[in-house]
Structure 1
Amino acid sequence: MLWACILLPQLAMDGVLRHRSDADAPLALLGGSPQRRVLQAVNPAARALGLRPGQSLTAAQALTRTFATADYDVAAIERWQRFLAAWAYAFSAQVSLHYPRCLLLEVQSSLRLFGPWPHFEARLRAELTGLGFRHRITAAPTPAAARVLANAYDGLTIPDSALLHETLGRLPVERLGLPREVAAALTRMGLHSLSQLLALPRDSLARRFSADVLAHLDTLLGNRPLALDFYRPPDVFDARIELNFEVESHQALLFPLRRLTADLAAYLAGRDCGVQHFTLYLEHRNQTASRMPVGLLSAEREAAMLFELPRGRLEYLQLPAPVLAIRLEALELPAFTPEHRQLFDERPQQSLSWEQLRERLRTRLGDNAVQSLGARADHRPEHAWVEQPTELSLPPCGPRPGWLLAEPLSLRESSLRILAGPERIESGWWDGGDVRRDYYVVETRAGQRGWAFRKVGDGGPLLLHGWFA
């Protein structure tokens, strides 16, 4: 087997920065008591100003005051880790949150679908970067070894156990994932690498250290299995972004809205499903949140489409008060059927697909302004269709023309060639519109194909009822 470890070293900071339009501005995350606030994490711009994790807020402000602050939220770290686990579920059915701030994925069984590991790894990195999370990725035959290697390497892949033992043997004891006091004791004993540690008699190690140390070493080397609980994504999506200031304009809401819909698209891809209805809540101070339901004509999961529809509706929404936070909730996640496309798409790059155009028109003109044809349970052609705001869905039947004439026209049979028929239709006796007709597919001398009928028992001419495309 091959296990990949995705280490997220700046998960708390990345979770805050991805919601800020000024991500390059200096930022520090604060923790500790109200009496003594301490910098828990800083972004590169703040580090360039001389700020470091562990500094007190007072000491940091003595250096500079040109940086923003936010709370270091432990619950948010766990929430982002679960979100990324749902994203990773698209690549592997075995995703584990066993270690904090990292994901474990069994990737050997996914290589046939996503290609060789270098290509697979590049795709993981590209999507993580697009989502706004810094990362380190390593792969090894055991999940514990993949996690330990991520402490010292990025991009390292160990394909077999022999190479794994050799690589692990060079690791310093501080990077083996052992408790800090155990690593310090081993260093004082003159043991600086795993190979030196394994050269000692096992009984001697068992007398000096707890059984957990030997169990951890056995797990690293694959001699002892690691018990993992695998993640299963929930059946709903609920995400919220708290804004840095009170927002009164629709334009300022577009950035958090785009981030929420992109997160929804990533979540749907991980669960291999779509969404047809979701709700946006715009939260205000001391006032009920503004509710904006969003509905699509079919289940979708493309980020651009999920953003386009609420964006257009947001422009027409009257805000009763400034917005403090925006929340997206999707309670129903139906199955998603990908669109059937040609191998070579000849559509110009700047043109929209029909689905995107349809949703944009519904946003601009209203939900009921865009209609499609639906089937009605009636064999009479002039009564067999109805306008409705749903997808075109016609039952299987014989050939039907795309253009139906409002009034049938007489044809000169001498200039026609009958291609198929007759197809008899007898219906409508219950509503006074009884018809008894024999239909034929005909072709004119010019090559046009039409749909014509003659009333049963009537020797009159054929009547043209429609043209085929």
Structure 2
Amino acid sequence: MLWACIHLPQLALDAVLRRTPDPARPLALVSGPAHLRQLHAVNEAAAQAGLKPGMRLSAAHALLSDVALVEHDASADARWQRFLAAWAYRHSSQVSAQWPGAIVLEVRASFRLFGPWPRFEARLREELDGLGFSHRIALAPTPRAARVFAGLRDGFAVASAAAMHEALARVPVRRAALPDRNGDGEAGERLHRMGVRTLGALRALPRDGLRRRFGSELLDHLDRLHGDADDPLACYAPPDHFDARIELGYEVESHQALLFPLRRLVGDLATYLSVRDGGVQRFVLRLEHEQTHTGVGVGLLAAEREPGVLFELTRSRLEQAAIPKPVVAVRLLARELPPFVPASRDLFDARPAQALPWPQLRERLRARLGDDAVWRAAPTGDPRPELAWRRAGVTDDALGAQVAPRRPPRPAWLLDKPVPLRNSRLRIVSGPERLESGWWDGDDARRDYYVIETSQGQHAWAFAPVGEQGNWMLHGWFA
């Protein structure tokens, strides 16, 4: 096996920056009790102004008065780590997020699909950049070794056990994530003060003495780090629903200001759907106000997962919804996640590059015009032309066709009501087609229909009373 570790050095900060319209503005996360507020993390603009993690909030205001402050939510870190684990699940069936700030995934089995490691690594970095998360990536035969290497040097990769052992022997004990029986995580610092500086020197010490001084956890970690013992990981399993929320931090009263968080939410939903290899057919966009919320439902006729299509449909629905109160947060919930079947296309598709497939165009029209504004004309069993069709849903394709009998060709343009056809030079092309119907509803019709060519060369569909030619009534035009 080969394991890749994606180290996330500023997960909490990136989770805030990716939903901020202006990430270049100085921003800091704050934490701690009210009387001891301090900076938890700062972005690059704030760091250039002299702010740094651990600084007291009062000192930070003295250096930079207009810095944007966001409360650090520790529970959000775990939530975003699970989101990235879901993203990694689309590249490997074995993904673990058991270590804070890191995602590990088995990649050897994915080389046949994504190519060799350099190409696979470039793909991971490109997608992480698109998601808005800074990262460090390393590769090793064991997950713990990959985690250690990712914390030391970005891009480090070893594929053989011998090369891994050689590289681990030079790792400083303070950077090896060594556990401690006391739970304080200071085993590496204690070993360093004792004169044990590297993992190679640590492994040369007697195991019994290490066990008595540091506990069996240290030895288990060393064995799993070097591949001498199995390392059971808590593997990630994707949930069966999607629920994401963005707190705006300010009150929003216009639809336009909601488009940026909406795009992020829909993009995250599309990422989640690609992980499940499924689609979404119905979801709710919830606009949260103070103590209340407004729900905007989005329903599709068929499952979809293309982020651009989902965003356009949701935006159209949102623009039609009224915002009764200022919005302080946006939440997207999707629980109906049916299987997704991509639309089939010909190998040599002659359709223009910018043309929309019919299912996507249909959904866009429904979102802009309303659910009842898009329908199809379906045939019925009534032979009278004005009653030979009905309004049907756009997906109801088979019901009318099963009951309608086969008929001679009908004109593409059927008039609402027949009108007299006055032309001195008419020629009968075909006919008659006798129609006698309507006796059961009091609207009896007895007509002989003909296809007639006019003096201008047009083909008309006209009828005359049974047995009478000359008093033509025009009912439609052929293309």
TM-score (norm 1): 0.81
1:361 positional shift: 1.5
Whether contact under 8 Å (2:243, 2:331) holds in the other structure is yes
Question: What RMSD over aligned residues (CA atoms) do the two structures have, in Å?
Answer: 3.4
1:312 positional shift: 1.3
Q: Could you tell me which residue of structure 2 aligns to residue 124 of structure 1?
A: 124
1:238 positional shift: 1.1
Q: Could you tell me which residue of structure 2 aligns to residue 190 of structure 1?
A: 195
Q: Deviations over 1:435-464 (max 9, x none)?
A: xxxxxxxxxxxxxxxxxxxxxxxxxxxxxx
1:186 and 1:99 mapped to 2: Cα distance?
Answer: 22
- Is 1:324 the equivalent of 2:323? no
1:384 positional shift: 10
Whether contact under 8 Å (1:375, 1:394) holds in the other structure is no
What SS class does the counterpart of residue 331 from structure 1 fall into?
strand
- Specify every segment of 5 or more residues in structure 1 that has no aligned partner in the other structure, as ranges: 414-429, 432-468
2:250 and 2:359 mapped to 1: Cα distance?
Answer: 35
What SS class does the counterpart of residue 151 from structure 1 fall into?
helix
Q: Deviations over 1:292-347 (max 9, x none)?
A: 11111110001111110121122222211111111111111000011213345554
**2:192 aligned partner, one-letter code:** T
**2:211 aligned partner, one-letter code:** A
1:394 positional shift: 4.6
**1:219 aligned partner, one-letter code:** R
Deviates more, 1:177-186 or 1:150-159: 177-186
Q: Which one has the largest radius of gyration?
A: 2
Cα gap change, 1:64 to 1:124, in 2 (>3 Å): same
**2:336 aligned partner, one-letter code:** E
What SS class does the counterpart of residue 371 from structure 2 fall into?
coil
In the alignment, which of 278, 286, 292 is matched to residue 283 of structure 2? 278
Cα gap change, 1:331 to 1:318, in 2 (>3 Å): same
**1:305 aligned partner, one-letter code:** V
In the alignment, which of 230, 244, 250 is matched to residue 249 of structure 2? 244
Cα gap change, 1:349 to 1:45, in 2 (>3 Å): farther
Cα gap change, 1:163 to 1:234, in 2 (>3 Å): same
Percent identity between matched residues is 55
Whether contact under 8 Å (1:373, 1:392) holds in the other structure is no
Cα gap change, 1:388 to 1:104, in 2 (>3 Å): farther
Q: Deviations over 1:356-391 (max 9, x none)?
A: 322222122211222246798x899x9998643333
2:188 and 2:246 mapped to 1: Cα distance?
Answer: 41
1:107 positional shift: 1.7
What SS class does the counterpart of residue 280 from structure 1 fall into?
strand
Q: Could you tell me which residue of structure 2 aligns to residue 437 of structure 1?
A: none
Whether contact under 8 Å (2:51, 2:60) holds in the other structure is yes
TM-score (norm 2): 0.79
**2:238 aligned partner, one-letter code:** P
Whether contact under 8 Å (1:258, 1:307) holds in the other structure is yes
Cα gap change, 1:366 to 1:157, in 2 (>3 Å): same
1:164 and 1:385 mapped to 2: Cα distance?
Answer: 74
Alignment of 1:49-60 (within 5 A): 49-60=49-60
In the alignment, which of 263, 267, 274 is matched to residue 262 of structure 1? 267
**1:27 aligned partner, one-letter code:** L
Q: Could you tell me which residue of structure 2 aligns to residue 307 of structure 1?
A: 311
Deviates more, 1:277-286 or 1:191-200: 191-200
Alignment of 1:92-111 (within 5 A): 92-111=92-111
1:387 and 1:336 mapped to 2: Cα distance?
Answer: 28
Deviates more, 1:59-68 or 1:202-211: 202-211
Whether contact under 8 Å (1:265, 1:303) holds in the other structure is yes
Q: Could you tell me which residue of structure 1 aligns to residue 294 of structure 2?
A: 290
1:173 and 1:240 mapped to 2: Cα distance?
Answer: 40
**1:236 aligned partner, one-letter code:** H
1:402 positional shift: 13
Q: Could you tell me which residue of structure 2 aligns to residue 85 of structure 1?
A: 85
1:401 and 1:195 mapped to 2: Cα distance?
Answer: 88
Q: Could you tell me which residue of structure 1 aligns to residue 20 of structure 2?
A: 20
Cα gap change, 1:210 to 1:373, in 2 (>3 Å): farther
In the alignment of these two chains, the number of paired residues is 419
Whether contact under 8 Å (1:375, 1:384) holds in the other structure is yes
Q: Could you tell me which residue of structure 1 aligns to residue 361 of structure 2?
A: 357
Q: Could you tell me which residue of structure 1 aligns to residue 343 of structure 2?
A: 339
What SS class does the counterpart of residue 5 from structure 2 fall into?
strand
1:80 and 1:181 mapped to 2: Cα distance?
Answer: 27
Q: Could you tell me which residue of structure 1 aligns to residue 36 of structure 2?
A: 36
1:325 and 1:23 mapped to 2: Cα distance?
Answer: 18
2:4 and 2:79 mapped to 1: Cα distance?
Answer: 21
Deviates more, 1:176-185 or 1:161-170: 176-185
1:251 positional shift: 0.5
